[in-house]
Structure 1
Amino acid sequence: IEKLQDAVRLYRGPFLANITNTDSLTFREWLTIYREQYFRQLLEAIRKLSEYYKTLGDFEIALRYARQLVTLDPLDESSHRQLILILGMQGNRSAAIEQYQVCCKILSEELGVSASRETQDLYEKIKAGMLSGVQHSNMLSSFTPTQLTMFFGRENEMERFKRCFSNPTCRLLTVIGIAGSGKTRLVLQVVPRHLDEFPDGAWLVSLEKVRTKELFLSSIASAMGFQFSGQYPHLVQLKNKLSSLKSLLVLDHFDYLVAETNTLIELLKDCPGLKIILTSREHLNFQSECLFELRGLLYPETELEENPLNFPAYELFINRGLRGRSGFQPKPEDVHHIIRICQLVEGIPLAIELAASRLRDFSCKQIAEILENHFDILETSYKDVQERHRSLYGALNESWEGLSDHEKMVCRRFSLLPDEFAREDAEKIPGISRDDLRTLANKSLLYQTPFGTYVIPQVFRHFLNKKEVTRGDENFLNGYKQFAPGNTLYDPVTNLPRRDVLWERLSYLISRSRRFPQRFAVMILDLFDFGEVNR
């Protein structure tokens, strides 16, 4: 097994891929034979690995190999069937059904054939709920709506959820992140795997349009299937209902109810068997909360990455591209454009999905070129997508409307700052204070790095560029730009980190390496007469 894993990991693409044109017919035939032979050996190795881990019951690893198989050879029905089977055994019935539909579409459009009887029988078993390698609570069907698209990445977050569920002191879990980061989708993916830990019930409560405490409590009661009576306060009745239960409440879209957080604390104090998960764009600032801060999916840092399918952001784009454009199969020259798209949107899932949906109108290269300048094309007309998620700017505008006038003013003045900046640089701009930075970081509109600096998410910077500024702000920005503070983090000539920044980051890496057995490398270039060289 280890040798198979090494072989798959070392695969670098088609045999002699750089050789495309040759006048020798004999050589071309030889190259074609061996290229196909090695490719088939790769597919067989991946197939064996997927089957091995499926037999062990390790469906996560089996699923990763099965997806790789389908991506490499999308016209092979048996590869699709393997992926459908593992999804079904994992208990992810909706994703299995979706994959069956993708398989049928590809077979019909590309080969002009229908799925085999074996594949159809597997689909019928999964559809009827007759196939499962993992037993789930009966609460599953009542807890989560059917997911019609595949889920990618977030393995670290799901592992941390697993630890929190088993930890009796971890009872308030907050998933925060900028609009489009996939907060709700992560929760809907992870909770069904742990329903057996909540034998008395798990309930999903959508709070998207809820603004008051009474409506908040009524929404919880409605999800649990009981009605308040007129004798006691609603909160008291809710406590009485939950006090003896080992249960889970999932409060989705808690953004507009942050002021009611004390109500959650009261519930947790009086209901010892209760855990609460909530999704929000804003940090609650409670010592008792376990914080999950979502950023983008992992994406290749370089466009020369040899194995982009190892990155969930790239996988997501390919998957949504297959769904959105018939026959979509990225060509070798498309790979670095797709990587660039993922880099430009910093792996934000909604932005990647919207970018992939535009493959009906643009090539991968055109999408990347447009995103270099603006994000206007990140929108869709899909009717099965929530209205607020049909446009990246629309999703961000919801966060914007929740800001105070002062916070909006601070955000507009971000245009005077580089993408990454030190707190001291921001405080040199009139109207921006340390508390403002902390507040906007708590609202997922700024990222704070391990080095104490701040980063403006690219999706938010592009959004700010589209917002109209007030006349007062416009006059301020125009008048202050020439006096705006320079970037104290980087040298203005070389654009390299200054010495103190480099030492700070090196110290962080040394500390991290000692805490987690992890090596890193340092390269020292000793250049004489650097000023002359740089000129």
Structure 2
Amino acid sequence: MRYGVLGPLAVWDAGERPVKVPEAKVRALLANLLAHGGGPVPADRLIEDLWAGNPPGGSANTLQTKVSQLRRVLGRDQVVREPAGYRLLLTGHEVDAARFQELAERARSHREPAVRRRLFADALALWRGPAYADVAEFLFARGEIARLEELRLTVVEEQAEVRLTLGEHTSLAAELGELVARHPLRERLRMAHMRALYRAGRQGDALQSFQELRSQLSEELGASPGPAISALHEAILRQEPQLAAPAVTSLSCRTNLPAPLTPLVGRREAVGEVRALLSPGAHTRLVTLTGLGGVGKTRLAIAAARDMAERFADGVWLVELAGLGAASTPDDIAERVITTLGLCDTAATEPDLDDLVGWLCQAVADKHLLILLDNCEHLVEPVAVLAGAVLSAVPAGHLLVTSQEALGIPGEVVRPVPPLALPERTDPEAVARSSAVELFVARAAAAAPGFVLDADNAASVSAICRRLDGIPLALELVASRLRTLSPAELAASLDDRFAPPEVQVRGLPARQRTLRAMLDWSWQLLAVDERTVLRRLAVHADGCTLPSAEAVCSGPDLAAERVPDLLSRLVDRSLVVREADRFRLLESVAAYCAERLAEAGEEAIVRARFVRCHTELAERESERLRGPDQRRCLERLDAETVNLRRALDLAVSGHGAGYAVRLVNALTWYWFLRGRLTEARRSLQTALAADGEAPPAALVTARAWLTGIELRTSSAAAASVPAGGDPTAGIDDPVLRARLQWFVGTGLTGHGRRRDGVRLVEASLAGARAAGDRWGEAAALVELAGQAPERGECHAELGAALFQEVGDRWGQLRATRSLALTAEHDGDHARTERLHREGLVVAEELGLWTEVVEALTWLGRTALAGGHAGRAAELYERALSVSAERAYSRGEVRAEIGLGLAARLRGDRNAARRHLNRALAKSRSSGHAPDADAEVALAELDLVART
């Protein structure tokens, strides 16, 4: 059961059908139990509340009669009798008031204003009228009514304040007037209204509002306005600058640049130069920062890009390429960019999936963004191809590249990154002005607290920085040695160490020899076990967690329980960087350690451990993707994406077909949820073509997954499944076979082969039930709900209950969508809207952006059906914004059509034509064949022309 108290008392059953509670006293009894939140209410208290001090004769029996009537409606087990009294059985958020408070708390805890605004709006949308409206005359209800009304008004005030930060002052100035009139003494509400009025250019109205408050407080309470609103009044009188509408930015959503762990030293001029090159008036769209490893190219690029974030409306994005193999293609790089920009979950809906470079260029063609391609020296040729395509197709696209070698394409501006400035003289003042010394002193003070530059050590510090050529990485590595050596001893040891260059560093450029010698020296100062862990860490392409480090670095010669302590020592020596729960090697250190790994003859065995570790990780997470840990599991696999790709590459190149097939079988559901269907298809094909032995059942499983993926990405794929065929034949695991039958069957129905698709889904349902797989049963039921209208609601309700039982949020989203469509078919607009809002919350939580757009457009349709054109326009605007941000062209088309419909209902024919023509233009430019959306747009244009 679900209960509504935010309005007239309402009850809905498990199928969301209204349940009628007859007789006023029975309704009052239910309301009383609800007001106590599932806690026990003594019988004497209930009698007093229901009959207001005038109970009938035999009041205990009369109360029992009312309880029996309520049980007949709700179910006998829903109203429980305990020694402390009667209580209503509530296990979660069955009451809309509890849901309202949960949404409000979630809004308060979120940092992003746009999300807070949406959550507050979702909370307020639960209200259908005054709380407990039909039992308000009962004394017991008045306290709860007052409490809920206060909570509602507080949320209204909080939402208004958030909307002010988002620049919505014009609409707020109009909306809050009536509410302020009903609650004239609420100062927080009036302050929001005054700010909105002022920002909307209505300073006189804002001042008049304050005078009205002052007058009413004096007359009714003999009081004066509080200090906060009085200060606002004074600020409005003075027209203080801070009252102006803020510049609305959403930097936190439009960049993935990491926060710097330490300040950037000695690069102020270089940062300014990069910014100037990429400024709007410079007409430079590709800047490449070159320099030797360890010189600080990445730090400089990130600092410059962060300073420019406000210039690029569609964001500034860091794409790390160090983890890609040297044989990577331009499409591999494009796939990494697509994933980073968050476009990956829409790729399945677009054409030309075999040309990812072209798809990327089309997706961002009208965007104003900066992409930072980091560590490109091993990928110069494919990066050059991608960069050339982006620069040609994206007029407002800018690229910032870091590499030891320039790309060498037209339009590229190359800026070498030199080492830090060295001291010109040895006196302390001159030494202190050197940026190399500044960095060394900062790192030394962090490693050896209390260290300062003074007259006694200035000459030694200068010598250290000169010996290390001002290379930032070398300076950071050596600074930690001051824990055990004085500056003079450290300088002497460097002179002894580097005086005659060793054989292994000859032939390198001078500064590269310095860095190599520094790494050699750091290496030789390590204990044997520290070296073992450090070189084995190099197999990771994108850092690692502690469990992964233990699995990969341990062996017969090193116990896993010793790895954490050894890692800690390497962090102290600045050879390993710890970021949250991940451990990373800096680029130059990783390259050096990879050489040491090969020298030790451990490359093959450590790579094998790495592949095994990540295959087992993927298999562990695979099943969790279908349960209550789904969101955290998605985030964990997101974090390991680069390492998982590396594991597949190593398995394939190492003739490990068995591990390759196991890995892709474990990851395909993750790729599906994230919308990375292109990656899934290519990875499955690669694994199936790998050399080596793989279990026959695993190969059949991979082929079945590939069939389901190809049905979703290729118009010709349906021909690969013969009529009556079952690609899952040969899979012995009944649970896995049933799930794959569902996956292939749903792909076939999407291709118009409804009969074959339904046959496989029905087989999946039978198999899941026989195997006791609740998830598989739920998935099949929800799919059949859309294919069998006569039993659709029944299937969807059972599927929703099963998905809720196993805790799969994605499944609940799909089930909710089916139930919403049924409610819409039945004309139940209130239930339709509520279900779509629930689906929207889940889609946003999981980061499934196409589902977010679908939920918003359905909500827009529901609002239009209810005659609420303004609300519909707001929803379609949100859908359009998300679609444009994620390059979801079909979503853009549908949002524009919705905006056209809303404009026509408002009587704005010009706006309607504008939106509908945009929808047609976007539909044609997207490469899709003419479809139902285009037909709707044309029909609406014709209707607008005739009205």
Q: Please give the range of the TM-score, normalised by the shorter of the 2 chains.
A: 0.3 to 0.5
Higher helix content, 1 or 2: 2
Query: Relative CO higher for 1 or 2, CA cutoff 8 Å, sep ≥ 6?
Result: 1
TM-score by length of 1: 0.47
CA radius of gyration, larger in: 2
